[in-house]
C-alpha cells in the first residue's frame, strides 16, 4: 500500500497482472492512478496496455506491477521479457517476490536474482513471514527510492517499528538464506518439488501452469490441484486431514469462481516419505481428474 500510494497519483498509470495479490490491487485503487489490468502473464496484452499509457501524454509515470511467483497458481512471471518491455516503453517495474524469497536465486533473493535481472527492476518487495520465518515485509530499490519512501510512504511513517526480536529474527533468516545451509535447503526443496511433480504427473492437467518451470529453476513450492468445484475441493481437503495431511482448499474469492483447488505447499522440512504419502493419498481420492 505504502509504495504504490507514495509513488503514484491521479496523473499516473498503474498496470497490474490480473492475478496479483489483493494488497496490490487495493494499493493501485487507493493511489488514484489510472488502473489497467493485463491478462495473466500475457506479454502481448501488457504491451497493448503500455502503448495505451504512452498515448496518454499527460501521464507522469507508468508502473507495471507483478508477482514473481504467483501465490495461488505457483507459476512465474516472464520477468526477462517484462524488463525489456518496460524499458522499451519507459515504465517502471515493481515485483512482489513474496513466494520466491528464500526459494529462488543463488542467495535466495528471488526470481529476479535467478534470472539475473535484479539490477534492472526499479522496485522489489516481499515478505519476511514465509521462507525467512519472521514477520513484516521489505522493499528494495535505489537509495533515492528508499529515502523517498521513508519520508513519504504513510503506511511506513505512521506504523510502529518492528520490535527488536522480530528484526533480529528477520536478519537471522536472511543470513541463513544466503549461507551454505540455505543453499542446501533450496536443493532439498528442488528434490521434493521434482518428486511431487513427477508423482502427480497423471494429474498434470490439474496442476495448470505450475506443472512445469518457466523460470528455468524447476522449483515449485506451490502446486495447485485445480478441481473447479468448491464442494469437491472442500471434501478432498477434509479427507486428507483425516489422514493427517493438511492441504487447504482454496475457493472464491481467493481464486475465480469455478477454479477451486487444493493448494499443495512444499518446504525443505518435508521428507521424501512425506511427499510419497501425499502422492499416494491424492491418488486414492476420487478427484475426477
pLDDT at 256: 93
Q: How many CB atoms lie within 10 A of CB 85?
A: 17
What is the mean pLDDT of each successive set of 10 residues along the chain, which is 289 residues long? 95 96 96 96 97 80 97 96 97 97 95 96 97 94 97 94 94 97 96 93 65 58 93 96 96 94 96 97 81
| Site of grid cell 487507493 | 30
Under DSSP, the state recorded for 196 is H
Last residue of a domain, one of 150, 175, 200: 175
Per-residue pLDDT of 66-91, as tens digits, reads 999 999 999 999 999 999 999 999 99
Strands 260-265 and 222-228: antiparallel
pLDDT at 179: 98
Domain range holding 24? 2-175
Please name which of 189, 215, 207, 211 lies closest in space to residue 131, comparing C-alpha atoms: 189
Note whether 208 and 73 are same-domain residues: no
pLDDT at 220: 79
Residue 72 counted as domain residue: yes
Catalytic site residue 99?
yes
The b-or-e profile of 152-189 (16+ CB within 10 A means b, else e) is: ebeebeeeeeeeeeeeebbeebbebbbeeebeebbebb
Last residue of a domain, one of 149, 175, 201: 175
Which residue is catalytic, options 21, 49, 99, 270? 99
What is the distance between the alpha carbons of residues 194 and 210, in angstroms, rounded to a whole number?
Answer: 12
pLDDT at 102: 95
Which residue is catalytic, options 130, 193, 217, 232? 130
Last residue of a domain, one of 123, 141, 175: 175
How many domains does the chain fold into?
A: 2
Note whether 24 and 139 are same-domain residues: yes
pTM attached to this predicted model: 0.92
Note whether 80 and 105 are same-domain residues: yes
Catalytic site residue 71?
yes
Helices of type H across the chain? 2-7, 22-31, 43-55, 79-88, 111-115, 143-152, 154-157, 164-177, 180-199, 204-207, 230-242, 272-284
Q: What is the SS3 string spanning 108-148? A: CCCHHHHHCCHHHCCEEEEECCCCCCCCCEEEECCHHHHHH
Catalytic site residue 142?
no
pLDDT at 219: 74
Distances (CA, A) of 139 to 46, 55, 122: 24, 30, 10
pLDDT at 27: 96
Residue 89 counted as domain residue: yes
pLDDT at 217: 56
Residue 46 belongs to domain with CATH number: 3.40.640.10
Note whether 138 and 232 are same-domain residues: no
Which residue is catalytic, options 21, 31, 34, 71? 71
Note whether 70 and 132 are same-domain residues: yes
Residue 240 belongs to domain with CATH number: 3.90.1150.10
Q: 91, 53 in Cβ contact below 8 A?
A: yes
Q: How many CB atoms lie within 10 A of CB 244?
A: 8
Residue 156 counted as domain residue: yes
Please name which of 68, 70, 69 lies closest in space to residue 82, comparing C-alpha atoms: 68
What is the distance between the alpha carbons of residues 237 and 262, in angstroms, rounded to a whole number?
Answer: 7
Note whether 148 and 18 are same-domain residues: yes
Note whether 71 and 194 are same-domain residues: no
Amino acid at each position: 500500500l505504502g509504495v504504490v500510494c507514495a509513488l503514484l497519483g491521479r496523473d499516473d498509470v498503474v498496470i497490474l497482472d490480473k492475478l496479483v495479490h489483493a494488497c496490490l490491487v487495493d494499493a493501485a485503487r487507493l493511489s488514484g492512478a489510472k488502473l489497467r489490468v493485463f491478462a495473466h502473464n500475457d506479454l502481448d496484452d501488457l504491451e497493448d496496455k503500455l502503448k495505451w499509457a504512452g498515448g496518454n501524454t499527460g501521464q507522469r509515470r507508468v508502473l507495471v506491477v507483478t508477482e514473481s511467483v504467483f501465490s495461488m497458481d505457483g507459476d512465474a512471471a516472464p520477468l526477462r521479457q517484462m524488463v525489456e518491455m518496460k524499458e522499451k516503453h519507459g515504465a517502471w517495474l515493481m515485483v512482489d517476490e513474496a513466494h520466491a524469497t528464500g526459494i529462488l536465486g543463488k542467495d535466495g533473493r528471488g526470481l529476479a536474482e535467478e534470472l539475473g535481472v535484479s539490477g534492472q527492476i526499479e522496485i522489489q518487495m516481499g515478505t519476511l513471514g514465509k521462507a525467512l520465518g519472521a514477520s513484516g515485509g521489505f522493499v528494495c530499490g535505489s537509495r533515492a527510492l528508499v529515502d523517498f519512501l521513508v519520508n513519504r510512504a504513510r503506511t511506513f511513517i505512521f506504523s510502529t517499528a518492528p520490535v527488536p526480536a522480530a528484526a533480529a529474527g528477520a536478519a537471522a533468516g536472511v543470513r541463513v538464506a544466503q549461507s551454505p545451509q540455505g543453499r542446501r535447503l533450496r536443493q532439498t526443496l528442488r528434490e521434493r518439488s521434482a518428486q511431487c511433480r513427477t508423482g502427480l504427473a497423471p494429474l498434470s492437467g490439474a496442476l495448470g501452469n505450475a506443472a512445469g518451470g518457466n523460470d528455468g529453476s524447476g522449483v515449485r513450492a506451490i502446486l495447485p490441484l485445480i478441481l473447479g468445484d468448491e464442494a469437491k475441493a472442500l471434501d478432498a481437503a477434509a479427507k486428507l486431514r483425516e489422514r493427517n495431511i493438511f492441504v487447504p482448499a482454496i475457493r472464491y474469492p481467493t481464486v475465480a469462481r469455478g477454479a477451486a483447488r487444493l493448494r499443495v505447499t512444499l518446504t525443505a522440512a518435508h521428507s521424501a516419505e512425506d511427499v510419497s504419502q501425499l502422492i499416494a493419498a491424492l491418488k486414492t481420492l476420487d478427484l475426477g481428474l
